[in-house]
Structure 1
Amino acid sequence: MDILTLVGLIAGIAIVTVAMLADATLATFLNIPGLMIVLGGTFAVTLIKFRLRSVTGSFRLALSTVFRENSDRPLELIRNVGELARVVRKEGILGLESHETGNDFLRKAINLCVDGHPPELIEEALLEDMQQRMERYDVAERIFRGIGEAAPAIGMLGTLVGLVQMLNTLDDPSSIGPAMAIALLTTLYGAFIAQLIALPLADKIQLKAEDEQRNMTLIITSIQNIMKGQNPRVITELLSAYITPEQHQALVREREA
């Protein structure tokens, strides 16, 4: 589990909430009409910009990736791939049939190799899979960024609504307070949703997508070289670009040991 994402999200919300309640009560910052304007308006704008199935799929993707550490570390993948290359040199491609891996993309690559497909078809299938996954990440990121853009804008609309109500009822002092609450709190709600939830999640989705794309590119490069019968040591050196120099030195020491 990616505990830091959860900790950061909870800590950010908690710090702002505690600061808000330092000299006030929760009821001071709770305005149902203003909250309905922001949540309902943001949801409506999101549905206008994106398909409903894309929105629901993006939320499922966010929950399954943002708060979980799904991506393997490149160093672990390189070790795994080096073992695959050694198995192929000793037993041939069919020797991979009994190899177990928790990475579904690598498992798919192994299955394609074991089934005897030509290298060109394997590469095409893996590249297509990677492209489709990256498109899903891209849609999810755009949806959360869209929410981050829409929420403050809808909050400003709520502010204008509250100001108009206040100006129309200046002769009634008792109505000025509720109208001013809508005017100010809708802006607060919009900024809260955008800056503490939507935009940080969009950035984390982008980061997770970059990690997964890097790992899938590493796997594709590895499978290409394994199919060519490259030496495991050469494959490891080719993949050293995906890790830091310190990790590469540790990998060299492991190999020499």
Structure 2
Amino acid sequence: MNPLATFADPVAAAIVLGGVAVASLVRFPSALLLRAVGALRVLARRAPRMDVEVEQIAALARIARKHGPMALDRSVIDDPDVSLAVRMIVDADPAEAVQAAIVRAREARIERHLAVVEVWSSIAEAAPAFGLIGTIVGLVRMFTAMQDPSVIGPAMAVALLATLYGAVIGNLIAQPIAGRLRRLARVEAFERERLEAPLVALARRERPRASVAA
């Protein structure tokens, strides 16, 4: 007999997993839940660095000095925040507007990341609670069938395994995921702050030239 089969109980699993799923669906929109699941693919990645983007901004500044800001429109830019700022610079938007757009984009990104973290934190809180509910259900079944020994064992298994499932899901799965995603979001927010100063400086330097060219 597989020793792991001792720890498998469909009733306990249904109470804990089903309860967590229902609570999550009630609390969060389905689109956010899908994003939270999709965020699992970034767990193994290293903390993001903006070194490549900072170097690209420096290269764009050299292109603008040599050929004018309109030449930036032909540049291939992968980062959406840098691309947004460059489009505004090409359109001769004020440096203050460029800075505000960069800040809004960064804050919106942070909010999206934190919303995903909130989902996993909520799961970490809910799983032990539903484990306790499963324990109560198992104990009730056991005490209402004390005259039937065939029911006592399965009922006790539900009571104990529901607690185990809730603790494992909450403390060994959901909480570490939330912590990892929170750290990655914090590092990315810090790194993206590095993009603001050089982009604003580029916008401030090139706007007069763009206005003259127009």
Q: TM-score of the superposition, structure 1-length normalised? A: 0.72
Distance in 2 (alpha carbons) for counterparts of 1:116 and 1:59? 40
The structure-2 alpha-carbon separation of the partners of 1:70 and 1:111, relative to structure 1 and needing over 3 Å to count, comes to farther
- The structure showing larger relative contact order (alpha-carbon pairs under 8 Å, at least 6 residues apart) is 2
Match in the other structure for 2:4: 26
Worse-superposed segment, 114-123 or 158-167: 114-123
Match in the other structure for 1:177: 153
The structure-2 alpha-carbon separation of the partners of 1:201 and 1:107, relative to structure 1 and needing over 3 Å to count, comes to same
The CA deviation at 1:196 is 2.7
The CA deviation at 1:171 is 2.1
Aligned mate of 2:53, from 67, 70, 77: 77
Q: Which amino acid aligns with 1:86?
A: R
1:151 equivalent in alignment to 2:127: yes
Match in the other structure for 2:35: 57
Q: Which amino acid aligns with 1:103?
A: D
Q: Secondary structure at the match of 1:159?
A: helix
Distance in 2 (alpha carbons) for counterparts of 1:181 and 1:33? 9
Distance in 2 (alpha carbons) for counterparts of 1:44 and 1:171? 34
Q: Which amino acid aligns with 2:5?
A: A
1:164 equivalent in alignment to 2:140: yes
Distance in 2 (alpha carbons) for counterparts of 1:53 and 1:228? 39
- Write out the 4+ residue segments of structure 1 that deviate beyond 4 Å after TM superposition: 67-70
Q: TM-score of the superposition, structure 2-length normalised? A: 0.85
Match in the other structure for 1:140: 116
1:89 equivalent in alignment to 2:65: yes
Match in the other structure for 2:190: 214
Distance in 1 (alpha carbons) for counterparts of 2:53 and 2:150? 67
Distance in 1 (alpha carbons) for counterparts of 2:166 and 2:177? 16
The CA deviation at 1:207 is 1.9
Aligned mate of 1:47, from 10, 15, 25: 25
Distance in 2 (alpha carbons) for counterparts of 1:219 and 1:65? 22
Q: Quote the RMSD (CA, aligned, Å).
A: 2.3
Number of residue pairs matched by the alignment: 206
Distance in 1 (alpha carbons) for counterparts of 2:60 and 2:79? 13
Distance in 1 (alpha carbons) for counterparts of 2:34 and 2:111? 15
The CA deviation at 1:224 is 0.8
The CA deviation at 1:113 is 1.3
Distance in 2 (alpha carbons) for counterparts of 1:67 and 1:107? 27
Q: Percent of pairs identical after alignment?
A: 34
